Structure 1
Amino acid sequence: MNVGLHSKQRLPATVLSITLFLLAFLLSLTGIFTRPLGALSLFWPVNAILLGLLLRKPAYATFVGWVAIYLGMVAADLTTAEGWSHALWLNACNMALIATGYVVMQLLPNAQRRLGKPQAILYMFTACLLGAAISATLSVLHDDTLYYNSVTVAWGAWFSEQFSTNLLILPVILSAPRLKQLLRIQIDWQWRISMPFLALLCSLVLSLYIGGPGAIAFPIPALLWCAVRYQLFSVTLLTLLTGVSEIISVSSNIMLYQTPGPDAAVLDSLMSARLGIAMLVMGPLILASSLVVNRKLLRKLEHSANHDFLTGALGRSAFIRKARELLQYKHQTKEAISVLLIDIDHFKLINDMYEHAIGDRVLANFSHILRRELRHDQLFGRLGGEEFAIMMPRALVTQAVALGEYLRKRVESADMNPAGKAPLRITISIGVASLAMTEEKSLEQLMNMADTALYRAKSQGHNRVESFNSISPNKVHRDMFR
């Protein structure tokens, strides 16, 4: 029994170590096979991907996790006939970059590591800069030429590649939505929305066609336009696309920064291009991150303007506006729609018997219960005082009455003042009015119908649900002119 329990406790660590080992092994193997013979990789994304993974999943950053990543990298080098000394040292350099970046980013609060503030972009820049510098220094300590003729060139080649690659890939991983959110993203190809992306593609083509030292800056205006129009994650993908395409263009002599010459001259151009591209992407990333903050602030202001502060329900004007929109949509689609008017029974007595703070607490708790039970497409608003309303799109009268009964029982059984010495319970009266698929009435008419049903529910003893659609015409006439 003890053995089984012990094995069960060790299983997560075992699975974690195997997963990280295989991930590091496969990523490293991919990078090695795309590396030119006798030179460093043009693009080595392994360190950035693993660093991003550890930052997104801090639970993976255990001693076992770090060791598994290192062994996976070493194993990949050994399968390609690299010597033990070479494999151990170079991958120690890679681990130094990952560890440095991880430590620097840990200085940020966890909520900011998703790059939602400009400060986080600067921390990420520092993490990439220090990590690339430390790993490049360690690499030349082992082999001062490292495929090249001088220690300066070797250091510069390692540093520029790792700095630019991490600065291009890491933002994508850190800002990426969770998988469920990613699957819900709908791409809208309207021309107005697609224009910044098309402008970026045109600028990249133009930079390839014209070439020269200034071509690297051609995409900047389009990237800034993208940063203004798109979400942060989309901007990081576009900066990655831009950076990779320009690095490949320079390395292939498609985008020439000087006349073709010896390999050293091409390498100098490539290092310069990498550093220039790394600096180039900072502007759009900082702008996009700043706009994330602004959009959050605007959403908060919009929420405050549209919602009742005490109850969290829509305010009267916001509810009426959104209800008109739903009703207009109903007339276009010929779908049923229903309205529920809800009144808390004898609420004035609660304020008289208790202090107003208790009355406010009752309103807040009542609203909280209803908001939890309603679907996201159902409107819920506070019309004033203790009167609330719900609009249900695509709902027949039977469905609206069923919801009303459920909410009535739910409220009746709930304690509206859990912090009090004794339970405080309330009841509600509900009036329901519905329009069938072919019926067309104004919002005022529909609300008056629900109000008539609500009056009937209250006049028959409260704590009831009444439907306007079930009231006889004579009774409707008397109630409407009461």
Structure 2
Amino acid sequence: MVFPAHARLLPQLALFGLTLALTLGGILARPIESLSLFWPVNAVLAGVLLRYPRLATPLGFAGVWLAMVGADLACGSHWQPALWFNLCNLGVIVTVWLLLSRLPRAHRRMRTPHGLLCVFGACAAGAVVAASMACVMAAPWFQQSMRATWLAWFSEQFSTSVLILPALLTAPTRGALLRGGGEAIRLAPLLVLLVSLTVSIAFGGPGAITFPIAALLWCAWAYSPFLVSLLALTAGSTLIVAVAQNLMHFSVPQSVLGVSTLMSARLGIAMLVLGPLLVACVTHANRGLLTRLERQATLDHLTGALTRSAFSRRATALLDSRQAHAQAMPLTLMMLDIDHFKSINDRHGHGVGDQVLRAFARAVQEHLQEGELFARLGGEEFVVIIPGLAPERAKFTAERLRRAVQELHVTHADPRLQITVSIGLDGCAADASAPSLDVLLARADKALYRAKAQGRNRVEQAEQQRQVV
């Protein structure tokens, strides 16, 4: 598909404006004549480019760099450091994008533990590239040794990327939010995390940065990976600021290797969030697997109707619940069998047969309401239980289902193909004790056999119900 020129240019202009705003905010927030304490620009832009691959073009990367340089110049920076420093920043973005854009979408969106480890590795690689470029190109503007410069760039870029990038990659799409309706939040893990952060800052000392780990692990078990990523970002950035402002009373001097207290804390905090994020990914993946397994065990894969075993459990529970109430409600059970289904398979093929089954199931389900059970017993045989429907009125409902099936038109099938259904029904009147599920099925099956014997495409009631009516 060819897009108009303005449609291709607008996203690039939006990316340019986002970069400009982020860079200006980062510059204004950093200490005077010092590297930024927390520079989110690179991680945010890498996440945006991974979420919106159409922006990751040579023009897009060039626009990002020019926006960064323009923001630096607008804030009074000299043109040479503005060019070189932002080339280092661009190195982080390009490296992370190159390493993660080739991954499968599930890994890139951190839906698997492997994907999370890849994201951490990409953040480390991007930080290595930026730190190495800074030592080579930006050394004239640093007062520290090359080793200290490398460690400062690496620790800041790595910790910031690890804290920000997971939140961007796991963020749900707008469509997912509309379909899902949001996530129920359990307050207890969140409150414990806030308390542990408060205690960590109040207690102080190097070991205090590990205090929130237990609360983060609880959050990882209770919340989605996206919410855990946001909480890890909040906790990590809070601890980094607390260390930088000496609120946690760190007294470790800079080592001979050039590792300062802030560098060590940044790297420790970045590694601290790895565990909770990994637990969140594993928990989310396991829950998704259990949901799929439960769906496969409950719903027929072809028609979406209940499986025989799931129907048996729910129908038995429904009958038991009915018996437990003094004022028992009426109930109707219908057996439905598609007429001449074997000849449909033989004449038109199993593909058309599958289409017939799906169309039939949709037609029946459209006429059922919540709480009414619909199941596939096997082959072309289905069953419906309608609580609250009196047996004396069941034939009218069954006739409505029969007509709905007769009016079906199966897509891509032979236009001469017409589907009909035979229905046998049984039930229990109000306040009458219900027989077992097996007895109801047997009676309805006999009525179904009679409907088949009398010409098909008809509804027959069980003998007991015929006598009552």
Normalization by structure 1: what TM-score? 0.78
- SS of equivalent to 2:376: strand
For residues 182 and 325 of structure 1, do their structure 2 counterparts lie closer, same or farther at Cα, with a shift above 3 Å needed? farther
2:340 aligns to what?
346
**Amino acid across the alignment from 1:112:** H
Unmatched runs of 5 consecutive residues or more in structure 2: none
Q: Is the 8 A contact 2:225 2:277 kept in 1?
A: yes
2:405 aligns to what?
408
How far apart are the structure 1 equivalents of 2:201 and 2:331? 57
1:404: Cα distance to partner? 2.8
Q: Is the 8 A contact 1:400 1:432 kept in 2?
A: no
**Amino acid across the alignment from 2:339:** D
Q: Is the 8 A contact 2:106 2:112 kept in 1?
A: no
Q: Is the 8 A contact 1:74 1:91 kept in 2?
A: yes
1:98 aligns with one of 68, 88, 93: 93
After TM superposition, the structure 1 = structure 2 runs for residues 300-339 of structure 1, keeping only pairs within 5 Å, are 300-308=292-300, 311-322=303-314
For residues 246 and 403 of structure 1, do their structure 2 counterparts lie closer, same or farther at Cα, with a shift above 3 Å needed? farther
1:369 aligns to what?
359
**Amino acid across the alignment from 2:69:** V
Q: Say whether residues 1:13 and 2:8 are aligned partners.
A: yes
After TM superposition, the structure 1 = structure 2 runs for residues 32-43 of structure 1, keeping only pairs within 5 Å, are 32-43=27-38
What per-residue deviation string (whole Å, max 9, x for no partner) do you get for residues 87-120 of structure 1? 2222211111111001111342233211111111
1:236: Cα distance to partner? 1.3
1:230 aligns with one of 214, 218, 223: 223
How far apart are the structure 1 equivalents of 2:386 and 2:315? 9
Q: Is the 8 A contact 1:16 1:65 kept in 2?
A: no
How far apart are the structure 1 equivalents of 2:57 and 2:131? 25
Q: Is the 8 A contact 2:425 2:448 kept in 1?
A: yes
1:257 aligns with one of 241, 250, 253: 250
1:165: Cα distance to partner? 0.8
How far apart are the structure 2 equivalents of 1:228 and 1:305? 25
1:302: Cα distance to partner? 2.0
Q: Is the 8 A contact 2:303 2:361 kept in 1?
A: no
RMSD across aligned positions (CA): 4.3
1:294: Cα distance to partner? 2.3
2:135 aligns with one of 134, 140, 153: 140
1:382 aligns to what?
376
- SS of equivalent to 1:429: strand
How far apart are the structure 2 equivalents of 1:324 and 1:345? 28
Q: Is the 8 A contact 2:399 2:459 kept in 1?
A: no
1:129 aligns with one of 124, 128, 136: 124
Q: Say whether residues 1:478 and 2:467 are aligned partners.
A: yes
How far apart are the structure 2 equivalents of 1:234 and 1:44? 21
- SS of equivalent to 2:94: helix
- SS of equivalent to 2:410: coil
1:150 aligns with one of 138, 145, 153: 145
Q: Is the 8 A contact 1:311 1:363 kept in 2?
A: no
1:203 aligns with one of 190, 196, 200: 196
How far apart are the structure 2 equivalents of 1:128 and 1:178? 23
1:431: Cα distance to partner? 6.6
How far apart are the structure 1 equivalents of 2:84 and 2:435? 74
Q: Is the 8 A contact 1:29 1:76 kept in 2?
A: yes
1:162 aligns with one of 137, 157, 160: 157
2:261 aligns to what?
269
2:241 aligns with one of 230, 240, 248: 248
1:336: Cα distance to partner? 11
**Amino acid across the alignment from 2:467:** R
Q: Is the 8 A contact 1:203 1:222 kept in 2?
A: yes
Q: Is the 8 A contact 1:338 1:395 kept in 2?
A: yes
